[in-house]
Chains A and B, each alone.
Chain A
Amino acid sequence: MKRYSGFAVAREGLNYHLGWGRAWRNPAPRKKYDVIIVGAGGHGLATAYYLGKNYGIRNVAILEKGWLGGGNTGRNTTIIRSNYLQDPSAAIYEKARSLYETLSQDLNYNVMFSPRGLLMLAQTHHEVRGYRRTVYANNLQGVETEWIGPDRVKQLVPIINIDGPRYPVLGALYQARGGTARHDAVAWGYARACSDMGMDIIQQCEVTGIRQANGKVTGVDTTKGSIDCDKLGLVVAGHTSVLAEMGGFRLPIESLALQALVSEPIKPCMDVVVMANTVHGYMSQSDKGEMVIGGGTDGFNNYTQRGSWQHVEETIRALVETFPMISRLKMLRQWGGIVDMTGDRSPILSKTPLGNCFVNCGWGTGGFKAIPGSGWAMAELMAKGAPGPLTEEFSMYRFREGKFIDESVAAGVAH
C-alpha cells in the first residue's frame, strides 16, 4: 500500500494520478476466518482494526451487505463529543474522542478531525441545572467541559440570537475539544488500514444465517456462500435485531429513522457545533460551507432511511429562531438513517447467549462520535472473550437487572 502524504500526491500528480492503487482490496471470501465481523460501517471496521492492531488478530473478514460505510457512518451529522453524564458513557466516548485526536496519523488517512468546540445550549432553568451537573460529573470523569454564560456563547457563536423572546440562552455546556470529523473518511481510513493488515472486506455480501453447534457459533451463511469462523461480531446498528434473530436471541432494540439535512454552502460563519435541545435542533458548518443540521427521530419504527417532513420542519423552526440569519439559506438535501435505540439510549457491547458471538449495537442517535472507542472496546471484548472496563457496564443483560445507563437525563433529545 502506498503511503499517503503531500509529497506522494505531488509525485503522482506528475503522472496524472494513474499510479494510485486500491485503497482496499476487493477479495472473494475464504472458507474460514478467526473472526468475522458483520457490518463494515465505522464500528465494525474499527473493531476489526483494533483486533489487528491491539491483539494481533488479523485473520479477519468484515462482511457488508451493501457498500462499506453506507449506513449511519455516512449519514450522520459528524458530531464528536464526550460530555456524557454517566460514568460508563463518559469513559467510552472520551476514549473515542481521544483516539480521534490522532486518528488521521494512526490510519495515514485524513479523517479531518476538527476539535472546533461544541456547545449545548441551556434555554430553561431545568437545562441549566442539568448541564451544571454534567460539568461536575465530567470533571471527575476526566472529560474537559465547562459551563459558560450567555456572553461567552455569543462570543463563540456570533450568529446566534441569545435573547430570543421565548427561550433566551441562559448559558451552555462547552466542550472545547469536541467537534466534527469527515464521516466517510473514518470508514474509508479504517477500511484501508484493515485491508492493509490482510483483513478481507467483503462488500455486497449479506448474511442470511448464523450457524452454530453446541451453543457456539461456527460460521455464517451469506449471499456469497458459507464462511466459517471461531468468533463472530455483529455490528450492524439498525438491523441488529434481524441478525440476533438468526442467532436465536432477542435484543431490546427498536429501529427508527433519524432525520438530517444540509443547507447550500456559504462562506465560514460558524466555527463551533451548537446543540439546542430545548427547541430540538443542532447545527454545525461543514468544511464545504454547508450548514449541517440534525433533527429528531420519526415517531414510528421503520427501516426506510427516507427523509420525512415533520422533524425537518420542527428542527428548521428551532434553528431559524436560534440563528435568524439562516432564514434565507436553503435546504439542499434531507435524508434519514436507521438508528437502533435501546431502552436506556445507551449502547450494547456484549457477549450473547450464543457462545463466541458478540454484539455491538444500540448507539442510537449518537454512534459516529463513538467509533474509535467502540471499536477499541469491542476488540478487547472479542479478543479476551470477556468484558473489559470500557464494556463491562454495557452488557445486554443490564436490562434484566435494571442497571440502566440512562443518558436521557442529560441530553433530552439530540446526541
Chain B
Amino acid sequence: MSTRLARGGRLIDRSKPITISFNGRRMPAFLGDTLASAVLANDQMMVGRSFKYHRPRGIMASGAEEPNALVGLGAGPRFEPNQRMTTTEAFDGAETASQNHWPSLEFDIGAINNKFSRFLPGGFYYKTFMWPRSFWKNVYEPFIRQSAGLGKVPTDRDADRYEQAYAYADVVVVGAGIAGLTAALGAARSGKRVIVLEMTPACGGRAVVDGFAIDGQPAEGWVAAAVDTLRGMDNVTLMTRTMATGLYDHGYLMAAQRIADHTPGDGRPKQRLWRIRTAEVITATGAIERPLSFAGNDIPGVMLAAAVRDYAVNYGISIGDRTVIVTNNDDAYRTALALLDAGLTVPAVIDARPTVTGALPQAVRDRGVRVLEGRGIAKVHGGKRVTGVEVCVQAGEGAMIEELGCDCVAMSGGWSPVVHLWSHCGGKLLWDEARAMFRPDANRPPLGADGRGMVRAVGAANGMLTPDEVLTDAHAAFGDGTAPQTNAPDEARMEPVWIMPQGAGPKLRAKMWLDPQNDVKVSDVQLAAREGYESVEHTKRYTTLGMATDQGKISNINGLAVLSDALHQQIPATGTTTFRPPYTPLTLGTIAAEARGEIFQPLRRTPIHEWHEAHGVEWEPVGLWRRPFCYKRAGETTHAAVNREVRNTRTNLGLLDASTLGKILVKGPDAGKFLDMLYTGVMSTLPVGKCRYGLMCNEQGFLSDDGVVVRLSEDSWLCHTTSGGADRIHGWMEDWLQCEWWDWKVYTANLTEQFAQIAVVGPNARKVLEKLGGMDVSKATLPFMTFAEGQLGGFNARVFRISFSGELSYEIAVPASEGRAFWEKLIEAGQEFGVMPYGTECLHILRAEKGFIMIGDETDGTVIPQDLNMAWAISKKKPDYLGKRGQERSFLASPDRWKLVGLETLDGSVLPEGAYAVAPGVNANGQRNVQGRVTSTYFSPTLNRGIAMGLVKHGPDRMGEVLDFPGDGGKVHQARIVDQVFYDKEGAKNDA
C-alpha cells in the first residue's frame, strides 16, 4: 500500500494539515502536497481508467509528463476536467473525481473493451463499423463518442477571471533547476534583463531530490542561495508556478502563471498569461524519464523510478512496502537508496545491462540489495495493483527465472531531454547515439528576427545528464570563471532497452504499453509498420500514439524506437513527430482573458450613444460600433417604430446620428492626384467648398466603398466612407501610399472619432437650422452638394448640404466633445417642427425608396459600378484609377451582366431578402437557372407597399417584365421590373 512516512517530505508543511476529497472520500494531506501525493498518502494508487480499454490507471510520474492521473477538480462554475494531479497543488477542500468510467472507478462497464482488446488493435475502427451505412452516424459513432472522451463536461460559465500581461527581456531562462539557475546567474551578472520561469512552486529541480553537494554545500542550500541572489538583483524577475507554454517567431514567448489555482475564490485572477518578447531563450527544462516496455507495465503501482524517489523525498510518501526497481541505467539506483533511507524494502534491482559496475550500483549492493544483471521483467502480476513480477533473461523470450513479490515497480529506461520549446519555432534535433536520445542540435537552432539562433538549451535539456555535465554546460552559456562543481559519482552509460525482454513474442508485446492513456502498445506500433504506416506521423495517427493529453512526453521515444526496429532502420531515419505548443495544456480562459461579455471586443460609442440608450434604442452592431436600428416608444413594435420614423422624416424632421460615418482627411500637394486614383470619378477638380459623391473599387474593379468627398481647402479633402468601411479604407489608402506611391506627398488622418456628425433630414430641416441661427443655410448660399464652416446655434460646425434620403438634408459635423449637446439642442429646437430621431432601418428605407445603393446590400464584392447603372460616376477622361483595368476584362465588360433595377411585387407584398429570380431549365450541373436576385427589399411606409431593388440580367432593358422569385415553403413571389427610383422621381423634395 502507499502511505505517508513518519518523517521526510521537503515540500510539505506538516504543520498545515488540509483535507481533500477523491471520489467523495475525504483524505488528509498537507500544504505543499500535489493532488497526486495527497491521494498516494492515502493509498489511492488507482486514479482513473484508460481511454480505449478502460483499464485501471495509476499515477506513473511526478510532473508534467504524467499520462494517467487526470481528475475533474472542483464543482459548478469552478469545475475543471482533465486536471493533472501531479502538477496540481492540493488545497484545503479540493474536490476531485476520477474520470472515464461508469458507474464507478472500481467497477467500470467500459472495461469490457479490455476483455476484447485482442480484437480492438490500433486502427481497428478504420476496418470496420462500415455496414450498414446509416449505422455510423446513428449507432457506432454515438457509442464510440460515449466511451471515448475523458473528462466530464463543464456546464456553467466560468466563475474565475484571467489576466494577460506583457514583459520584455534580453534573456528568458526557462526552468529553475541547477542548470537554469546557473545560466540565469551568468546572464544576470553580465547585466542583461533576465526573466526566470519555473513551472513548479519551488526551484531546484532534480538536484535537490538527488541530494549531492554543489561547491561543498548541499544542493538544497546552493539552490536557496542562488534564488536569493537572483531575487536580489534589479535586472532579474523570477516567477515560479509559471509555465513557458510556447515559443513563437521572433522571440515571442507565452508563459502561463498560476496565481489562484491553489487558492480558488480568493479574488485574484486564476491565471495570468505573460506575453514575453525576448532576444534570447535559454531552455533549462530538464529531461523526462522513459518507461520500459514490458508486459503489464501499465498496471497501477508501476511507476517511473525518479517519481518514486520524488514522492519519498519531496512528499514523505512510500509508494509500496516492497519496490522492485528495473532499469537500464545507474540513475535508478538513487531511487533504491532513497527508499532504503526511508526504511523501505527493495527486493531487487533488475538491470538489463549484462554487467553492472559503477558507484551507485555498488552503494546499493553494499546495503544488501540484490542486483540482477542482464535480467528483465517478463510480466507484471496484478490487476488494479501490482502484486509481483516475473524475472527473465533480458536477451531471451520471457521464460520466468524467478518471481518477486512486490507492490511497486520503479522503472527507468533512461532520459529524454525536454526539447519542446527548442522545437516549437524550428529548432532541429540530432540523435545522440552514445546517450541514446534526441537532443538539440546547436548548429540548427530556431532563428530569431536577426537570422541568428534565439534559443540555447543547457543542462539536461541539452542532453547533459550527470550533475557536473549539467553545471558545466549551463555555466558556459554566460559565465566566466569556473563552473560549480559537485560530488556526484560518475555514472556508467545507460544501454538502450526498447523491449523487455528482447525476444518477447506477440502475446507479451500485446501487453507492453507505450501510451497508457490512449492504450497504444508495442504490438500496435508493429502492426502499423506492418500495414505500411511507416512514417512516424502515420504511425502516430494510425495508433494514436502520443496524441493523448500528455502529448507523448513519456511514450514518443519508446514508440519511435519500436517503429524503427520494426522497419529495420536507425532511429534518426525515423525521426520524431512535430513538437507543437503548448508544452502542457493551456486553459482556454487564460487565452481569452478579460475579453468577455460586454468587453468581448472594444465597444465604440458615438458621442450621442448614451442619449440613444436613454431613448428606447434598439441597437444594431455595425463593426465595433453600435448604431440605433430604431427608437421604440412604449408598446411599439420594431416594425411600427421604423414606419413611424420613415413617415416623420418624410413629412417633418428626422435626426440621424451619422457619427460612425468614416471621415478621412487627405492632405498634401499630391492629394488630388491620389484621390483621382482612388475614386472612379475626378476629385482633383472639385472646387473648394463643394461636395462630390465618389465610388471606390478594388484593383479587380469591384465596388468596395462609396461616400461624399468634400474639398475643404486647396490641399485638403475630407473623404466620407461607409461606417463599416472607415478603418478598411484608411488602411487601403495607407497601403497604396506606403507600398506603391511612397513618393507622393500625401498625408491621411482618420478623423472619424474626432467629429460627431448628425444628419438633419426632412422638409423642416432648414427651418430648424435657421432657428439655431449663426449661419446662412439658405438654398442660395448653401446649395445642394456644397459645404460651409461656421457657427450654428453657438456650436462650431461644418455643414454639408447633402442627402441620402431624397429629402432636404444637411449633415452637420461638430467636435466630438460637443456632439451630445448639439444633438440635444437640435432635439429641443426641433420640437416645434416635429423632430424625431431615426435609426439605420429608416435610413435604409429612405434610401431604397429613392433607389440609392447601399454598400453591402447592392454590392457583395462581385458588383461593379456599371452594374448599378453608375457609369456616370466613372470618369471617362482619366487615364487610370484603381479598378479601371479590372473593369476592362471581358467578363466585367460583358453586356450580359446582371444590372440594377427596381422590383415591385404584383400583390404589394415584400420580396424575401436574397431571393433569386429563376429562369427556365437547369444548367449542366443540374442546378436551376437563375436570371437575377433581390439586393434590397423593404416595406415602404411612404408608398404603403413592398419595394425592392435587384440585379437582373439585361434588367434595364426589360422594364415591365414579371419575374418569379421562389421563396420559403414553396411560395413563388412574382415581381415586376420597374425603375429603381420609387419616390419623388423628379427630386423635388431634395430641391426644396
Contact = CB atoms under 8 A, between A and B. Distances in A.
B127 A5 contact: yes
Contacts of B533: 23, 188
A123 B620 CA distance: 10
B491 interface: no
A264 B151 CA distance: 9
Contacts of A108: 130
Contact of B148 (A139, A164, A288): A288
Interface string A293-326: 0000000000010111100110011011100111
A263 interface: yes
A132 B148 contact: no
Interface centre among A21, A279, A333, A408 (most CB of B within 10 A): A333
B551 A105 contact: no
Nearest to A109: B126
Contact of B856 (A68, A101, A126): A126
Contact of B913 (A20, A66, A132, A268): A132
Contacts of B927: 87, 90-91, 140-142
B530 interface: yes
A287 interface: yes
B212 interface: no
A164 B146 contact: no
Given A104-B130, A104-B133, A266 B862 contact: no
B149 interface: yes
A409 B935 CA distance: 13
A225 interface: no
A70 B275 CA distance: 31
Interface of A: 4-6, 8-10, 13-14, 16-18, 20-26, 66-70, 74, 87-88, 90-91, 101-102, 104-105, 108-110, 112-116, 123-126, 128-130, 132-137, 139-142, 159, 164-167, 179, 182, 184-185, 188-189, 203, 263-269, 279, 285, 287-289, 304, 306-309, 312-313, 316-317, 319-321, 324-335, 343, 389-390, 392, 398, 400-404, 406, 408-409
Nearest to A326: B588
B537 A70 contact: yes
Interface string B232-254: 00000000000000101100101
Say which size band chain B's interface belongs to. 35 or more
B685 interface: no
Interface string B630-663: 0000000000000000000000000000000000
B506 interface: yes
26 contacts: A13-B118, A20-B527, A67-B534, A110-B125, A110-B128, A112-B125, A114-B136, A116-B137, A124-B621, A129-B914, A132-B912, A133-B913, A140-B927, A267-B146, A267-B150, A267-B152, A268-B149, A269-B153, A319-B588, A324-B157, A325-B158, A327-B589, A332-B549, A390-B925, A401-B890, A402-B887
B587 to A, nearest CB: 5
Contact of B580 (A334, A392, A406): A334
A319 B156 CA distance: 15
Given A9-B121, A328-B587, 4 more contacts: A9-B124, A21-B531, A140-B916, A335-B580
B128 A307 contact: no
A402 B966 contact: no
Interface string B857-895: 100111000000000000000000000001101111000
Nearest to B927: A141
B924 interface: yes
Nearest to A125: B620
Contacts of B125: 110, 112
B160 to A, nearest CB: 8
Nearest to A302: B249
A81 to B, nearest CB: 15
A269 B578 CA distance: 29
Contacts of B592: 313, 316-317, 320-321, 327
Contacts of B598: 165-166
Contacts of B249: 304, 306, 308
Contacts of A125: 620, 629
A230 B862 CA distance: 39
Given A21-B531, A401-B891, A264 B549 contact: yes
Which 3 pairs from chain A and chain B are nearest by CB? Answer: A133-B914, A289-B149, A330-B585
A327 B916 contact: no
Given A9-B127, A166-B601, A320-B588, A306 B425 contact: yes
A398 B589 CA distance: 45
B82 A264 contact: yes
B923 interface: yes
A140 B601 contact: no
B15 interface: no
Contacts of A188: 126, 533, 542
B7 interface: no
A102 B426 CA distance: 40
Nearest to B925: A91
Interface string B530-544: 111111011001101
A325 B81 contact: no
Given A264-B82, A328-B80, A401-B890, A167 B248 contact: no
B166 interface: no
